[in-house]
Amino acid sequence: MKILLLTNKFPYPPRDGGSIATLNMIIGLHHAGNQMTCLALNTSKHPFPVKQIPGELGKAIRFLGVDCDSSIRPLHLVTNLLFSGHPYIAKRFNVKNFREELASLLKEETFDIIQLEGPYPGQYLDLIRTMSKAGISLRAHNVEHLIWERKALHEKSLPKRWYLKNMARRLKKFELTVAGRVDTLIPISDWDASYFRELGLRKPMLTIPAGLNMLNYPLTALPEQTSIFFIGALDWLPNQEGLCWFLQHVFDLLLAELPELSFHVAGRNAPGHFEKKLKHPNISYHGEVDDAIAFMQTYGVMVAPLLTGSGIRIKILEGLALGRPVVTTSAGIEGIPNIDQAFVSVTDDPKVFSSQVIKMIEASRGQDLCLSEAHDFISRHFDTFTLSEGLSRFYKTEE
């Protein structure tokens, strides 16, 4: 099959959860025998020169990038808020140059499947329907509006809470409109699939989690130092929110028991005010690291203290694939099935969170944790090639 994948962010390099999920799916679908084209917005926030795609990858898959500035503009935001019912977060990715490039591509070629990576490319559905007979699928990395709804619940500022609720309502309407107009839905977790069905969507649907290429995740021994780590984009509000909760309610409890503990934080684009929260003798802020896998291999226990979110936290999958024990919250583990294992602990209580981190550290010292089990668990449930083959078969049955 010829598959065109549309995304609002260039999927290379694969440094964050979204780009990892997108790139691995593209590679997996190619490996399953499909001819892949990826048309992506090459945003000013995450720019990448298309010509620098590695040779073998560039030969196997056609990547097309459209440069655009999707940054938040205060005047546009206020105008949108006052005079539009469309979510501004989506409007930023409705770009004339992208529309023109897509129209040119659809005029020149025919595709069997056009896969939208998230709802934002759904703004081009009218164009796609006019110019192509391809089946259209929505791959939902998460349920976008739920992230905003949950963020609003934790927001103390009344004006910010009002804005978040307003954006969540707009996103919900937009997201359901896009989901209702595509031919098939590809949610990233069974929880998300159930939520879509509860909202009345009865079209063909297949859950395909984010996948990993397990060859990239060698199992390595835990370091001897007493260390914990967090890695994730720090320009993403749920990560900031979760880390603030951890620093305010958990970190001091840990230091009272383990004064020698070191906490290593990695993530791009942390705002200045947030970086100040990380200034502590026991905290090392690494910024955006060049090699996320090497970073995770260097330290001991992963903490993933998320309070809001939807979909699957890919960094948790990566940590487990590397044999790192994980302590997270119910929001953090959401979407990862069959996870009642010794290498993962889930709690929303700060005291229990602290005690579970200490338990994981002590168990890893004594090698009581069978960390190869974590690696094997990810191999069984999240191998990108197995998942992509399943999606390819699904598309063929729906043609």
pLDDT tens digits for range 254-292: 999 999 999 999 998 888 889 999 999 999 999 999 899
Kindly indicate the confidence band of residue 336, based on its pLDDT and cuts at 50, 70 and 90.
confident
Residue-level pLDDT at 249? 97
pLDDT tens digits for range 342-351: 889 999 999 9
Q: Which residues contact 36 (CB under 8 A, 6 or more apart)?
A: 3, 5, 26, 29, 30, 60, 61, 62
Kindly indicate the confidence band of residue 368, based on its pLDDT and cuts at 50, 70 and 90.
very low
Read off the tokens for 71: 């940054």
Domain formed by 2-211+383-398, architecture:
3-Layer(aba) Sandwich (3.40)
Q: Give the Cα separation of 127 and 105 in Å (integer).
A: 12
Q: Give the Cα separation of 241 and 245 in Å (integer).
A: 6
Kindly indicate the confidence band of residue 310, based on its pLDDT and cuts at 50, 70 and 90.
low
| Phi, psi for 381 (deg, rounded to 5) | -105, -20
Q: Do the domains 216-381 and 2-211+383-398 match in fold?
A: yes
What CATH homologous superfamily does 216-381 map to? Glycogen Phosphorylase B; (3.40.50.2000)
Residue-level pLDDT at 366? 56
pLDDT tens digits for range 191-214: 889 889 998 998 999 999 999 999
* CA angle, residues 88, 16, 150, in degrees to nearest 5: 50
Query: What is the secondary structure of 364-394 as a DSSP string?
Result: HHTT-S-HHHHHHHHHHHHBHHHHHHHHHHH
Residue-level pLDDT at 370? 59
Half-sphere exposure of 308 (CA within 13 A, CB side): 21
Residue-level pLDDT at 338? 65
pLDDT tens digits for range 140-178: 887 778 878 877 877 888 888 898 899 989 999 999 999
Q: Give the mean model confidence (pLDDT) for residues 88-105.
A: 94
- pLDDT averaged over the chain? 91
Domain locations along the chain: 2-211+383-398, 216-381
Kindly indicate the confidence band of residue 369, based on its pLDDT and cuts at 50, 70 and 90.
low
Kindly indicate the confidence band of residue 297, based on its pLDDT and cuts at 50, 70 and 90.
very high
Kindly indicate the confidence band of residue 398, based on its pLDDT and cuts at 50, 70 and 90.
confident
Residue-level pLDDT at 307? 87
Q: At residue 102, what is the residue type? A: L
Kindly indicate the confidence band of residue 337, based on its pLDDT and cuts at 50, 70 and 90.
confident
Give yes or no for residue 315 having a pLDDT over 70. yes
Kindly indicate the confidence band of residue 93, based on its pLDDT and cuts at 50, 70 and 90.
very high
Residue-level pLDDT at 77? 85
